[in-house]
């Protein structure tokens, strides 16, 4: 497994630009090799900044399939949904060129988060076995090291088989969410983690130090080819 590395940037804007540049490079490399590429996006302030920077990148979006790493299980028009925030900065910009797989919303079709997760997986033609699911996965991170909606010491972070699950009683509102699991994240060729601020410093150090993912979920986010943390100075302050 490739060793994780970290890069330190001047501020969140520079970080987002660098992470977007790296993402575009990986996508273009895969498009050149295989004709298509797959990207998993993240929400959160730095994740949205990265997506916005990616909108200006020279990528043939008609050859890209986009997923979201997780989603809040709320109605489709709820401003809390990640897809709405990402649509404003990237998804609307790529329009119909990219194939975008959005998570189910709470509504007439789905009122149970577990059923929604199962239906989402059933409707996707995902590679089997250990074949990569994503060419690039971009992940934000919380102060406790959560990625997507995988929080410490929860059933979702302990999942070892299913690629996506419903989350109940989430430590951070809203309480119900849909998320890819570590088995899915680990089937990414390249994992890019974006984090800013000294509140994230301990989680960054634990992730790079190979902590137990049950305690620090970010530590389990490892790509098959590369894992890169893009940080500002405060977030990197505890890295030795």
The SS3 assignment for 136 reads strand
Indicate whether 240 pLDDT > 90: no
- The per-residue pLDDT for 69 is 98
pLDDT at 95: 80
- For residue 12, what pLDDT is reported? 97
Residue partners of 14: CB distance under 8 A and separation at least 6: none
Convert the pLDDT of each residue in 74-120 to its tens digit. 999 999 999 999 999 999 999 889 999 999 999 999 999 999 999 99
Summarize the confidence of residues 40-58 as an average pLDDT: 96
Residue 129: pLDDT band (50, 70, 90) is confident
What value does the mean pLDDT of the chain take? Answer: 96
Q: Assess whether pLDDT exceeds 90 at residue 149.
A: yes
The DSSP result for 181-206, as a single string, is -HHHHTTEEEEEEEE-SGGGHHHHHH
Whether 2 shows a pLDDT value over 80: the answer reads no
Q: 103-107 contacts: CB < 8 A, separation 24 or more?
A: 103/68, 103/70, 103/71, 103/73, 103/178, 104/73, 104/178, 105/73, 105/74, 105/75, 105/76, 105/78, 105/81, 106/73, 106/74, 106/75, 106/176, 107/75, 107/76
pLDDT at 239: 96
- Check pLDDT > 70 for residue 221: yes
- Residues 176-211 have pLDDT tens digits of 999 999 999 999 999 999 999 999 999 999 999 999
* Res. 1 pLDDT band, cuts 50 70 90: low
Residue 152 has pLDDT above 70, yes or no: yes
Structure tokens at 15: 């970080």
Burial 36-73 (b: 16+ CB within 10 A, else e): ebbbbbbbbebbbbbbbbbbebebebebbbbbbbbbbb
Percent of the chain with pLDDT over 70: 100
Please give the pLDDT value at position 96: 85
Q: Which two tokens stand for residue 163?
A: 């690629």
Domain limits, the chain: 5-232
For residues 20-48, give the mean pLDDT. 97
The DSSP call for residue 150 is B
Q: Report the CATH architecture of 5-232.
A: 3-Layer(aba) Sandwich (3.40)
pLDDT-derived band at 32, boundaries 50, 70, 90:
very high
């Amino acid at each position: 497994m490739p060793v994780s590395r970290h890069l330190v940037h001047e501020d969140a804007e520079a970080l987002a630009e660098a992470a977007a540049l790296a993402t575009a490079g990986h996508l273009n490399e895969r498009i050149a090799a295989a004709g298509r590429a797959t990207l998993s996006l993240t929400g959160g302030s730095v994740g949205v900044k990265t997506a916005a920077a990616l909108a200006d990148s020279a990528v043939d979006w008609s050859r890209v399939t986009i997923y979201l790493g997780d989603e809040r299980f709320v109605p489709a028009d709820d401003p809390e949904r990640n897809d709405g925030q990402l649509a404003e900065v990237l998804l609307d910009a790529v329009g119909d060129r990219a194939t975008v797989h959005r998570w189910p919303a709470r509504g007439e079709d789905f009122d149970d988060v577990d059923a929604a997760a199962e239906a989402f997986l059933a409707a996707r033609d995902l590679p089997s076995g250990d074949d990569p699911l994503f060419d690039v996965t971009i992940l934000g991170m919380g102060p406790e090291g959560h990625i997507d909606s995988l929080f410490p010491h929860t059933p979702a972070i302990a999942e070892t088989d299913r690629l996506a699950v419903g989350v109940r009683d989430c430590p951070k509102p809203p309480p119900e969410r849909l998320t890819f699991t570590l088995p899915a994240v680990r089937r990414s060729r390249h994992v890019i983690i974006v984090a800013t601020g000294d509140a994230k410093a301990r989680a960054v150090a634990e992730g790079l130090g190979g902590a137990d993912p049950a305690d620090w979920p970010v530590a389990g986010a490892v790509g098959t080819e590369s894992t890169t943390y893009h940080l500002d100075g405060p977030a990197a302050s505890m890295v030795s």
